[in-house]
Chain A
Amino acid sequence: MATDTLVKNARAARTTIALKLAMATSGLIFIGFVLMHMYGNLKAFGGRDAFNKYAEHLRTFGEPMLPHEGLLWVIRVVLLVALVVHVASAAQLAARASKSRPVKYEVKKNKHSSISSRTMRWGGVALLLFIVWHLINFTIGKVNVSGGATTDPFNLLVDSFDVWWLTLIYLLAMLALGLHLHHGTWSALQTLGLTNSARSRKAAKTTGLIVAVVIAGGFMLVPLFTLFGVISK
């Protein structure tokens, strides 16, 4: 139902655009993180020592200025806050969107949307589930589905991706991440007000495509090459 009242005491911070800004900022933090993470994973191509040294280095980074695992904890807290902000704003925006059209169309064509833009919400939920499993797998739980040792990070990685179905789960999750980043990157730039011309819009969309291919593609290399035996113990 339309209202017939005018808003009093409007505040910028209470608008849906502010929610979008929160979404874009937290999203960009994620992009920075996944880029670093993807790069770190590629160390697996260097073998056990290169990979484990990198993992160890992450923990000793900044010592003695920072305590052991200091940087790691800073990153963890920032990511956790970003995740809460991102998911909470997504939920609020989704709830608003579903209420804004109570009667659906009999026929509705998509003229401009992409699969990426249409799957942001369900893809986001899939990513959330994946993040939970991923942390259980490698960080909090350290679950080795092959039943081997879990104390050595490289060992856990190789054991995990030697299992075809686990590799498949990771590949599907990276596909979802690629789609999310394809729309999410350009969307974040637009939300931040950085695409005020046809040219900058095109550049933002190209950036989205590159970010998606580089990050999702880069992440897919390690599981694939482990499955095919190039990366092995």
Chain B
Amino acid sequence: MKLTLKIWRQANQDAKGAMHTYELDEVSEDMSFLEMLDVLNEKLNADGEEPIAFDSDCREGICGMCSLMINGEAHGPEVTTTCQLHMRSFNDGETITIEPWRAQAFPVIKDLVVDRSAFDRIIQMGGFISVNTGAAPDAATMPVPKDKADRSFDMATCIGCGACVAACPNGSASLFLGAKITHLGELPQGQAERNERVVNMAAQHDHEHFGGCTNIGECSAACPKEIPLDVISQLNKDLRTAMKQGR
């Protein structure tokens, strides 16, 4: 495959960035998207140019590092992470535009790499359970209804990639926030801190300059883990309950 790549280049956080165009030949359709970028970087290295900075870690769809906006879609055209996206999803001769996540809360560090530590701070404000849950065998002594356990597990698959924010026209992180709230709120261990958690995490979300949700649904459509929109309803419900109970 022969590709024209339009890629955002930015030297550092304070520098002004711009789109640059690169031609890349002999791309195999079996390559992953990141391998394609690796090939481009080898070529840039050989030509004595600065390689393109982009994030990745596990390359197996579980860490959430590989944040790229590809042709206007977070993680590209398939429902998966960029590292699990293959070049067969593109056509020979295609022009592919690659941009970093765009959000006030996710500043660009270099080229395609953004700082997602805003998510860490939201987690720091309540995305955990501080009651003692005991040693492993004790877990079986606390029954969790199957439907609740399933819902909790499903929402725990959120990898914190930030695609929801990147895709949202309001730059809101409500899907991420809702996934965390639902994941912990469905479990008995999550109840003690339930009100405190939702208020603190929602406040930190706003403090990080994420926008407010208008229930448009771009987030869920972009989520590689298919987190559904009902977690946002759950988030709203938990916040309303907390407000009623004086938080």
Q: Name the B residues within 8 Å of A111 (CB-CB).
A: 73, 167, 218, 221-222
Q: Does residue B179 face the partner (Cβ distance < 8 Å to A)? A: no
* Contacting pair A113 B217 (CB below 8 A): yes
Cβ A15 vs Cβ B214 within 8 A = no
Min distance, Cβ B225 to any Cβ of chain A, angstroms:
16
Contact with A along B111-149 (1 / 0, CB 8 A): 000010110010011000000000000000000000000
CB–CB B221/A112 < 8 A: yes
A139 at the interface (CB under 8 A from B): no
Interface size on A, residues (CB 8 A): 54
**In contact, B125 and A6 (Cβ under 8 angstroms):** yes
- Interchain CB contact under 8 A, A2 and B236: no
Which of A5, A16, A186, A201 is the one whose CB lies under 8 Å from B212? A16
CB pair B215–A190 under 8 Å, yes or no, is: yes
8 Å CB interface, B208-237 against A:
208-218, 220-222, 228-230, 232-237
C-alpha spacing A186/B240, complex, angstroms? 17
**Which listed residue (B19, B115, B167, B171) contacts A100, Cβ 8 A?**
B171
Contact B72 A100 (CB under 8 A): no
Assess whether A109 is in contact with B73, with CB atoms less than 8 Å apart.
Answer: yes
Size of B's binding interface in residues, CB under 8 A: 64
Judge whether B117 and A105 touch: CB under 8 Å.
Answer: no
CB distance from A97 to the nearest CB of B (A): 4
CB of B236 within 8 A of CB of A193, answer: yes
Question: What B residues does A3 contact at CB under 8 A?
Answer: 118, 121, 207-209
B206 in the interface, Cβ–Cβ < 8 Å? yes
Contact A19/B200 with A106-B6, A110-B218, A193-B237 known, Cβ cut-off 8 Å = no
A192 touches B240 (CB 8 A): yes
Residues 72-100 of A, flagged 1 when their CB comes within 8 A of B and 0 if not, give 00000000000000000000010011011
Q: Which residues does A use to contact B, with CB under 8 Å?
A: 1-7, 10-21, 93, 96-97, 99-113, 117-118, 120, 183, 186-187, 190-198, 200-201
With A6-B125, A97-B170, A190-B236 already in contact, 10 other A-B pairs whose C-beta atoms are closer than 8 Å:
A7-B204, A17-B202, A93-B211, A96-B211, A101-B102, A106-B19, A107-B99, A112-B218, A193-B237, A201-B228
